[in-house]
């Protein structure tokens, strides 16, 4: 189990690094969009290449950050029922989701997109728009992004199995976030430190 936990930490580190630098791709896309708008208004000229590179960069930022989003538990979740279940039941639901749904989905996407990306690279397929860009770089974002997502799904699965076996922390608590027990203890501690102004003073024994 210790070996799997090391693998999980390595995957977490990888997606954390990817997420840290994905913001620069979004910045580049925004900057190109702004320059393109200024050039179009000021000089009445533009190019489909400028538009497509924005789409390419946005696709890359969105897809490669999917694993980072899963690492930080920022995907859309419906916890109306799940939050009322026991922690152990929640862990088993997550394990089922990662093993039976996320993993097969990622494998199917990789099965179809990897050969397609290689094919586009070999043929040099271009965009159908005038002045458009070559296609394979944007298609490459699919296998890269889903590989990172698949790895992170396995990492989350490992962490939940470790928690159920009592050899790992609660993976549903974000880094720096307090558990419900810690929040309750803090509230009780704060209440015990508050002095009731209406309470009668304690008599002094002389």
pLDDT digits (tens, 9 = 90+) for 146-205: 999 999 999 999 999 988 888 778 777 765 555 555 556 666 676 666 555 555 555 555
Q: For residue 146, is it within any domain? A: yes
Q: Is residue 41 part of a domain?
A: yes
Domain enclosing residue 71, as ranges:
2-172
How is residue 167 written in tokens? 């050899």
| Rounded CA separation 106/135 (Å) | 22
Residue 37 has pLDDT above 60, yes or no: yes
- C-alpha 101/C-alpha 118 separation (Å) is 26
Residue 115's pLDDT is 93
> Is residue 119 within a helix (H) or strand (E), and if so which, with residue range?
helix 103-123
In a domain, 124, yes or no: yes
Cβ atoms of 13 and 28 within 8 Å: the answer is no
Domain count, the chain: 1
Q: How many residues does the chain have?
A: 206
Give every CB contact of residue 201 below 8 A, 6+ residues apart in sequence. Answer: none
Q: Is residue 141 part of a domain?
A: yes
Domain assignment of residue 189, yes or no:
no
Instruction: Enter the pTM of the model.
Output: 0.77
68-82, 99-113, 160-174: which has the highest mean pLDDT?
99-113
Maximum pairwise Cα distance, the chain:
98
Res 201: pLDDT: 56
């Amino acid at each position: 189990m210790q070996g799997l936990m090391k693998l999980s930490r390595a995957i977490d580190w990888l997606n954390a690094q990817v997420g840290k630098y994905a913001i620069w791709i979004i910045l580049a896309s925004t900057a190109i969009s702004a320059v393109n708008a200024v050039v179009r208004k000021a000089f009445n000229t533009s190019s489909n290449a400028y538009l497509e590179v924005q789409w390419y960069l946005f696709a890359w930022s969105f897809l490669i950050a999917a694993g980072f989003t899963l690492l930080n538990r920022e995907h859309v979740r419906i916890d109306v029922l799940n939050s009322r279940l026991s922690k152990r039941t929640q862990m088993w639901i997550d394990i089922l989701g990662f093993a039976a749904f996320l993993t097969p989905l990622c494998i199917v996407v990789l099965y179809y997109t990897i050969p397609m990306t290689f094919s586009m690279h070999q043929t040099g397929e271009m965009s159908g728009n005038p002045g458009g860009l070559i296609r394979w770089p944007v298609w490459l974002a699919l296998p890269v992004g889903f590989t990172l997502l698949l790895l992170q799904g396995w990492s989350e699965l490992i962490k939940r199995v470790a928690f159920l076996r009592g050899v790992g922390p609660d993976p549903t608590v974000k880094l720096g976030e307090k558990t419900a027990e810690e929040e309750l203890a803090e509230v009780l501690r704060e209440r015990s430190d508050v002095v009731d102004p209406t309470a009668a003073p304690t008599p002094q024994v002389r």
